[in-house]
Amino acid sequence: MFWSWAFLVVTLVGAWFTFNAYVPHRRTGPFIVPSFFAGWLTSELSAHHFAWQLAATIFFIWVGALDAWPGQVGLGITLLSWAGLASLVPLARRSEPVVEASLAAGLGADYRSAILPEVALRMDVAGPATHSLNPFRFKHPDVEVKHDIAYLPDGDPKHRLDVYAPRVGVQNAPVLLQIHGGGWVIGNKREQALPLMYHLASRGWICVATNYRLSPRATFPDHLVDLKSAMHWIRENIAEYGGDPNFVAATGGSAGGHLSSLLALTAGDPEYQPGFESVDTSVRACVPFYGIYDFTNEYGLQAYSGLGGFVERTVMKKNQSEDRDAFRRASPLHRVHADAPPFFVIHGSHDSLASVEEARHFTDVLRKASHQPAIYAEIPGAQHAFEIFHSLRTTHVVRAVDRFLSFVYSDYLRRREAA
């Protein structure tokens, strides 16, 4: 009987993982974080989950777990869980037509023809097959990384960045600035967007991943000031690494989505450039992933009611009731303007931690105000942080970002040639 009950417990755990991939917890309470982790890992690694469940089932059958009714019930639960895991694969494949339709709607149905041939040659090349077996294998033979370069001379490890570059060497290559997330309080430049950066760097881009000061020690806008300092460093130094200082795009996930959007929308704002007010900190494009766009929650779109209090206590260190304008200035939603660069806003439909409704609204406001394209792709079945390691969904989204940036870069090259 022991093995039968043990098998039932294990199958319930496996089924709970599968369930959260479909029905994540999105409201306040203690289940948000466990639900996120369960849904996140299962959605992106469904084959790996099937493998451990299969191994567990074989073991329990071998020790006689099916000799009693709890084991037989467990087997039925396992079969249902496997059916759910199998259905996650076509759900992940839907990412490809979704992102393509989003790009076509925002850039035009024939947008691919606007990508210069020499740029298009580097796109959409399949990654190594080993990614499907080891989703955490990031290194690429064609990419070299220079670590821990100081972008400010103060010796603070938070003021360092990494440069990802093609091993063969390039000149005047487009540049991507990656801003990590972690709720403004944790995170590191080496932890996020690695599939995207290695993909682009292997195809001729220079990618810069930067650290910045974190709360609670840092108080907003310290985070943004640091990122603009990193932009200052890029303008003055990236040519030494093969990059074009005049073409820099920004990306980031979660808190990095918030900060990359603010960076893109506050170019030249002296409030965030103390001592280097005249430096051009504009970016040519922005690709925020599952970001937070409104610290004020003015439209009541945030699913997690505790976010506002956390931001007040830890990030802003003031109450909205005392200085609401400060929270508006810190919100990308309230910094939108007609001269915003092209945006490609990406969010998962099953995000537990950042409101998908807020991402939709942010993009709608951008579309109405900006002279440039504002594209929104809602990735079916995707959780928060879905693209930080390799998966089928990650591959489709990374290639879509490549196409978007290639479109913007081609436009830049044409304009530079005509000038």
Tens digits of residue pLDDT in 104-161 = 999 999 999 999 999 998 775 555 544 667 898 998 999 999 999 999 999 999 999 9
140 and 64 part of one domain: no
Give the mean model confidence (pLDDT) for residues 224-246. Answer: 98
pLDDT digits (tens, 9 = 90+) for 302-323: 877 788 899 999 999 999 999 9
53 and 42 part of one domain: yes
pLDDT of amino acid 306: 80
61 and 112 part of one domain: no
Domain end among 76, 92, 108: 92
267 and 230 part of one domain: yes
Give the mean model confidence (pLDDT) for residues 256-261. Answer: 98
**DSSP class of residue 390?**
-
pLDDT digits (tens, 9 = 90+) for 34-89: 888 888 899 999 999 899 999 999 999 999 989 899 889 999 999 999 999 999 99
pLDDT of amino acid 37: 86
Cα separation, 41 vs 35, whole angstroms: 10
pLDDT of amino acid 304: 74
Cα separation, 202 vs 394, whole angstroms: 16
86 and 119 part of one domain: no
Give yes or no for a contact between 32 and 353, defined as CB atoms under 8 angstroms apart: yes
pLDDT of amino acid 125: 55
Q: Is the pLDDT of residue 359 over 80?
A: yes
pLDDT tier at 24, thresholds 50, 70, 90:
confident
Q: Which two tokens stand for residue 76?
A: 């039925």
71 and 165 part of one domain: no
> What CATH number is associated with residue 116?
3.40.50.1820
55 and 119 part of one domain: no
Domain end among 92, 118, 138: 92
Catalytic residue annotation: 254, 351, 384
125 and 216 part of one domain: yes
In which domain, by residue range, is 203 found? 95-418
Give yes or no for a contact between 283 and 320, defined as CB atoms under 8 angstroms apart: no
Give the DSSP letter string of 270-305.
Answer: GGG-TT-TTS----SEEEEES----TT-TT---S-T
Q: pTM score, two decimals?
A: 0.95
101 and 194 part of one domain: yes
Cα separation, 161 vs 188, whole angstroms: 10
Counting residues of the chain whose pLDDT is more than 90, the rounded percentage is 84
Question: Based on the structure, what is the number of domains in the chain?
Answer: 2
pLDDT of amino acid 124: 57
pLDDT of amino acid 33: 81
81 and 181 part of one domain: no
pLDDT of amino acid 35: 84
**DSSP class of residue 391?**
-
55 and 123 part of one domain: no
